[in-house]
């Protein structure tokens, strides 16, 4: 199981990716609204993958 941080400016795309990721038995650690939010949260969440 991978820990994944999702970053996209579209809430519907974040929702869709999150649903696919969790359906594949992975964990979504955060859904960031932009790259800056993702970078700021990266060290706090320690994800295996940043999508």
| Cα end-to-end span (Å), the chain | 15
pLDDT digits (tens, 9 = 90+) for 14-49: 999 999 999 999 999 999 999 999 999 999 999 999
- The band of 4, judged by pLDDT with boundaries at 50, 70 and 90, is very high
Is residue 30 within a helix (H) or strand (E), and if so which, with residue range?
Answer: strand 27-32
Q: What token pair was written down for 11?
A: 């809430």
pLDDT of 51 reads 79
Distances (CA, A) of 46 to 3, 10, 11, 12, 20: 8, 23, 22, 24, 20
Q: Is the confidence at residue 50, as pLDDT, over 90?
A: no
Element (H, E) at 43: helix 35-45
């Amino acid at each position: 199981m991978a820990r994944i941080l999702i970053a996209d400016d579209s809430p519907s795309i974040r929702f869709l990716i999150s649903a696919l990721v969790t359906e594949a038995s992975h964990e979504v650690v955060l859904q960031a609204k932009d790259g800056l939010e993702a970078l700021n949260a990266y060290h706090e969440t320690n994800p295996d993958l940043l999508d």
